[in-house]
Amino acid sequence: MEERYQIGSITSGYRVIRPGEEYDKYFPKPQAQDRIIIEDGEVSDTVDLMKRVVWKYIDDTKGIAPVLKGKTLNETCENTLPALGTFLPVH
């Protein structure tokens, strides 16, 4: 049976987003045309957009991937999820 990572509680409450400059060296500089906003999008619109964005920018993650990769899938999740919750604003 595969090992599963338990996320725990998720809140829609206020989060302080830290700047995260220490991660800048792992990613290319963003371009102005990279900003994507969907006004009044449905969940399915967001999921479809996420799929396209992941594949469009997959090469941008090659620098950070070895930093976050753990010895197990569980360890990789433990390394990744806190960074996502701390440095990525979700609206």
Write the pLDDT tens digit of every residue in 1-14: 455 555 555 555 66
Asked if residue 35 has pLDDT above 60, the reply is yes
Domain residue spans in the chain?
1-28+40-91
Q: How much of the chain, in percent, has pLDDT values that exceed 90? A: 11
The two three-digit tokens of residue 91, written as one number: 């609206």
Please say whether the dihedral angle defined by the alpha carbons of residues 63, 68, 70 and 76, taken in this order, is positive or negative. negative
User: What is this structure's pTM?
Assistant: 0.49
